[in-house]
Amino acid sequence: MKSEWFERWFGEEYIALYPHRNAAEAESVVSLIEHAIAPAKVGRVLDLACGAGRHSRALCRRWWTIGLDLSEVLLRLAKREGLTAALVRGDMRVLPFRDRSFDLVVNLFTSFGYFADDESHLHVVREVSRVTMSGGSFVLDFLNTSQLKNALVPYDERRIGNQIVEQRREISEDGRFVIKRICLRGTGQEFTERVRLFDPGDLKAMMIAAGFRVTAAFGNYDGEPLTRTSPRVVLFGNKE
């Protein structure tokens, strides 16, 4: 069976091309979460699609946190860099946790929209709902489709060490996906990212269908209102 793009991409090459994680940005979004859900009591947190753990670090400074990701490489990197959160390798479509295990689940920095069919995305949100306590919170941080379409850069290149990296971006013909092709010039290596372009209304509808009441929507990590030109879509849901 052919593997999915996200199973191939988030490995050693990804780490080499994107070595710097923005810890300040991670702290900003986690601080926003902390203030937005107050005064709710939070005991256990799931960082869903935690990658190398930059958000988990900020979460751990506040609450007990477990991180889940599909990439063995990124999880090894998180451990090597001393992340204290518990780490689990798994698929977000089949969460290996009991019902009502967490007070807070976060899915940050567009770690969503990776699948070809929309039913899989809805299933992820339903899985999140299953493992969230009644009265608990779910935070979904996604790209802003309208802003992305207006600001899309079709091509750029940059040097990372001795390597020239070419990046080509396009919207699929049906308008449903943004596709980025990353080429390592002179090596014959090329990788593809493909993310489903959900509008804020689509994301809210999935959360509601999964049993969450959407309580807040922000357009950036400073907590400013969501508009068509906002850089992010940060949605807060409360489990009914």
**pLDDT lower than 50: segments of the chain:** none
Which are the contacts of 42, defined by CB distance < 8 A and separation ≥ 6? 62, 63, 103, 104, 137
What's the pLDDT tens digit per position in 138-168?
999 999 999 999 999 999 998 887 889 999 9
Which pLDDT belongs to residue 158? 87
Could you tell me the pTM of the whole model?
0.94
Same domain, 167 and 204: no
How confident is the model over 41-76, as pLDDT tens digits?
Answer: 999 999 999 999 999 999 999 999 999 999 998 999
pLDDT of 71: 92
Same domain, 27 and 98: yes
Query: How many domains does one find in the chain?
Result: 2
Are residue 96 and residue 185 in the same domain, yes or no? no
**Amino acid residing at 135:** G
Q: Are residues 186 and 67 located together in one domain of the fold?
A: no
pLDDT at position 1? 52
Give yes or no: residues 122 and 207 share one domain: yes
Handedness of CA 160, 196, 131, 44 (dihedral sign): positive
Q: Are residues 82 and 170 in the same domain?
A: no
Q: Compute CA distances 86 → 3, 54, 77, 79, 223, whole Å.
A: 27, 14, 13, 9, 29
Token couple for 205: 């509808």
Q: Phi-psi bin for 38: left (phi > 0), alpha (psi -120 to 50), beta? A: beta
Q: How far apart are CA 190 and CA 68, in angstroms?
A: 26
- Structural domain including 175 reads 147-193
Structure tokens at 28: 């900003």
Q: Could you tell me if 99 and 215 lie in one domain? A: yes
- Quick one: DSSP state of residue 42? -
Supply the pLDDT for residue 236. 98
